A and B are shown apart, each in its own frame.
Chain A
Amino acid sequence: MHIIDRRLNPKEKSLGNRQRFLRRAKEEIRNAVNESLKRRKVTETESGEKIRIRAKSLHEPSFGLGRDGERDFVLPGNSDYIVGDTIPKPPEGGGGGGSAGSADGHGEDDFVFTLSKEEFLDLFFEDLKLPNLVKVKLKDTRSPTPVRAGYTVDGPPAKINRVRTMRNSLARRIALRRPSLENIEQAEDELEEAERNGETDEKTLALLRERANRLKHLRRMVPFIDPLDLKYNRFEHVPKPITQAVMFCLMDTSASMTQSLKDLAKRFFMLLHIFLTRHYREVDVVFIRHTSVASEVDENTFFRSTETGGTVISSAFEEMKRVQQERYPADEWNIYAAQASDGANDLGDMARCIDMLDRTILPLCQYYAYIEVGTHISESIIWSGFSPLEKRQRHFAMRHVSSPDEIYPVFHDLFSSAESQ
């Protein structure tokens, strides 16, 4: 009998099955993820999620008997029934007569399980990326990547290259004629046989004996693995080019933006923020909010604080330009911007605003996304003002969002890797 402690075995043995399962249910899970986004508060976007799916593709059918027909069965616990008594059937699906329902096919219940945060976000941002990430520049190498660079004769045991080592060992053993165990056994057998057969010629015996001894000696002298054989994998640390990118988030916080519109805009930026921090570790994010004046704020203020006032969009463009010129030279950085607004702007600012966007901001940017939140009953000033740009500038995109469940599709649309731009 053996007792084995398996508790220390590698965890997540079922990971492969889980991945296959998630892949299989991807469509349904994505829908569920999207659903769940509606219910979530802005602040809890980055956590795991309990997912409820009703997945056709997860169903495992088999030939089972239906409910119709006749059957006999036996139950325990008869209290006072006698032959001929009748018992009304429990209503459909209402538990009760246990064994009566057991053989039937199982219904398609909702399937509930929990996605980890990683899985949740992976699914969430699958196939998304920043478009036109072209300006590649060699930055100082803070995290050089190890790259395979041949073999070396010394190193830590963990890096031993077994194939190379054994190849050397084999070559050396052949070259030095290291006898195999069979050779030795054979020599010994021959000696034994000679002795058994009453071989009297001392000379022959001595020869055989010497041969056996020599083989044994040789085997001792030529080791199976010699320090000379050892080869180790060698790694070199190579600096990797890192693409630098910055994302400007511009949000209108004026009085015309109601709480629910702000919430919509914040959700969008929240998504953008998580997406960027997750997939592009080197991306800087600049938060700019504006009313009639614009200011750069930190993440916390951007998402949480409330302030009101009029609307002058060009102020935000000015602020963006200032920050960009100060910190993000256009020849070194990939610049992105996303703007959210309810479509209202000071009428007198409109011409200047469009001009700035067209001449100053868009040429700087790799990609510019404009999100208009609100019901969009009639065309807003900004929408009609920006529309011509969309046709002219290939890297300018604008979308409407009127309810939380549209955010994810719009987001997906704007950043899907199969770019339509």
Chain B
Amino acid sequence: MTETRTKKRGSAAEPLFESAEWTFDTLKLAYDAVEKIGKRDLKLDIYPNQIEVITAEQMLDAYTSTGMPLMYRHWSFGKHFAHEQTSYRRGMRSLAYELVINSNPCINYLMEENSATMQTLVIAHAAMGHNHFFKNNYLFKQWTNADAILDYLAFAKSYVRECEERYGLEEVEGILDAAHALMNQGVSRQPKIPISSRSMKKEQKQKKRQEHEEATYDDLWRTVPKLRQPAHGPDEMPGSGNGDSFDLGLPEENVLYFLEKHAPRLKDWQRELLRIVRMLAQYFYPQRQTKMMNEGCATFVHYEIMNKMYERGQLTEGSMLEALHLHSAVVMQPAFNDRRFSGLNPYALGFAMMRDIQRICDDPTAEDREWFPDFAGNGDAMGTLKDAWANYRDESFILQFLSPAVIRDFRLFGLHDDSEDPEVTVTSIHNESGYRNIRRMLARHYDAGEQDADIRVTDADLSGNRRLTLTHYVRNKRLLNKQEGERTLQHLAQLWGHRVKLLEVDAETKKPIRELEALPIP
């Protein structure tokens, strides 16, 4: 029976699995088949994969501690865990089917509850799609070091634990709380401090230095009278004495970096903790900037691979239906007035744009030729897509590739909102004059630098009253949330150790609008 069927289908293979239950053998078979298509047909360039099967609790745990396999201990992760767990138990939320980590080897977590089909889809999605994106996108290449991240996290975890043992839970918690509050301000947007494996190694050096100090510690020195502390203090600070903001490299957009280097009262281990949080903030920054492309890429890849597998007879019709059902759920985009609407779905938009690029390459219309003369009809969809995946982020990708066809399909329209008006105004719709506007507005929406408040350290008086001044350059009259701002500023004052002022000035006219201030509480 089996033989005749195989013959009838010609080159078609046997289905990899027929039951919904997966075993480690089917997982291996599915992976090999997916990888073959990914590497041979789509010519993806990926890190070696490591597939890990985990339980629901482990999944909850993974994504409440920022999705990393190891992480230092902090109450906020416990809080998120408690929250997620409650809503998961009540059935208010379902869990992700997979989680993938930008590391080398690339770690993919698969949930044990997934059916065999889902596992296959998820492998195609994460182990091929995300993996390729991580390895090739310029932002990840520039900012993250996939080889070193796991080692670094291991270092961070043990360092924080040692600090807790040495200086007490509360001390460490205070620093980490403050650092977390400033995490969004812990990112350098211009490549100034590249994260190389060399700077990662510095962490180990720091540890060695401390060990050496301990090994050579002689209790006798304790009996020798100490120099008076204040006379000793300022020497540790670079650029002290003149308070010249130029020496401090001001203005500085990376507040955490500035504090780590220049805060007058922090101890070495406290600086190290700030550094750990800053490194993580920087590591995650590319993910924020490429969320839509990354998901689009992964969705596109799994769609291609699943279809190829079905064509080759490696999936049964039942499996393919299940896969399509999942796929369509993932890329669903409810309209703005739909009850399910919660913003633009990055999977949907990313996938639609990439399918659209494929269409433009293979079968362009006159409109496409006019809008995209560079690649319309070039017949090399994969090449064009791979170039996009490698060299763009969400903002520039939309600016470059969002076509009128997609705008029409999504029925995108632009609005303007002024908090003083009782109504929002429609400014552009999907017509000839609106396309470019919508494209520009949407691109700006995906620009992380545009969405975050633009806050910089602008002055630090190190010789006088030691006041630190930050400036928020206000765009479009959008001030900070006052209460949040004050609380965050309080954290900042704790780290700086002296008075801290936050000026809010209009970005264009430089006119001061508001001023917040905080004093450290001893």
Contacts and interface: CB of A to CB of B under 8 A. Distances in A.
Interface in B373-400: none
B255 to A, nearest CB: 9
Given A3-B28, A5-B24, A70-B416, A86 B423 contact: yes
A404 B425 CA distance: 56
A68 B344 CA distance: 22
Interface of B: 24, 27-28, 31, 35, 48-55, 57-58, 60-61, 64-65, 73-79, 81-83, 85-86, 89, 105, 109, 112, 169, 173, 177, 180-185, 333-338, 341-344, 410-419, 422-430, 434, 438, 441-442, 444-445, 451, 453, 455, 472, 474, 476-485, 487-488, 491
Instruction: Give the residue among B173, B183, B487, B491 with the most A Cβ atoms within 10 A.
Output: B487
A67 interface: yes
Contacts of B417: 70-73, 89, 100
A109 to B, nearest CB: 10
Interface string A56-69: 00111111111111
Given A21-B79, A78-B413, A85-B426, A97 B336 contact: yes
A85 B426 CA distance: 5
A98 B441 CA distance: 16
B75 A83 contact: no
Contact of A64 (B414, B426, B434, B481): B481
B341 A87 contact: no
B51 A19 contact: no
Contacts of B112: 7
A23 to B, nearest CB: 7
Contacts of A105: 481, 483-484
Given A2-B50, A74-B445, A78-B429, A68 B478 contact: yes
Given A77-B334, A77-B335, A113-B83, 12 more contacts: A1-B48, A3-B31, A17-B64, A25-B79, A62-B181, A62-B183, A63-B472, A63-B488, A64-B480, A76-B411, A77-B333, A83-B434
A410 B136 CA distance: 65
A16 interface: yes
Nearest to B87: A112
B485 A71 contact: no
Contact of A19 (B78, B177, B413, B444): B78
A103 interface: yes
Contact of A63 (B31, B61, B184, B425): B184
A97 B185 CA distance: 28
Contacts of B85: 113-114
Nearest to B255: A63
A70 B55 contact: no
B479 A7 contact: no
B54 A63 contact: no
Contacts of B169: 20, 23
A75 B415 contact: yes
Query: Secondary structure of the B side of the interface?
Result: mixed
A74 B58 contact: no
Instruction: Give the residue among B81, B442, B491 with the most A Cβ atoms within 10 A.
Output: B81
Contacts of A78: 336, 411-413, 429-430
A18 B82 contact: yes
30 contacts: A3-B24, A3-B53, A4-B53, A6-B53, A6-B54, A14-B61, A16-B78, A17-B74, A22-B78, A60-B177, A60-B180, A63-B472, A64-B480, A64-B485, A65-B479, A65-B480, A67-B481, A68-B478, A69-B418, A69-B474, A70-B416, A70-B476, A72-B417, A74-B438, A75-B415, A76-B334, A79-B335, A81-B426, A87-B423, A112-B83
B332 to A, nearest CB: 11
A88 interface: yes
Contact of A83 (B180, B185, B426, B480): B426
Contacts of A83: 426-429, 434
Contacts of A24: 75, 79, 173
A114 B86 contact: yes
Interface in A87-112: 87-89, 97-100, 102-105, 111-112
A355 to B, nearest CB: 53
Nearest to B491: A61
Instruction: Give the residue among B51, B434, B438, B482 with the most A Cβ atoms within 10 A.
Output: B51
A11 B57 CA distance: 8
Nearest to A69: B478
B59 to A, nearest CB: 10
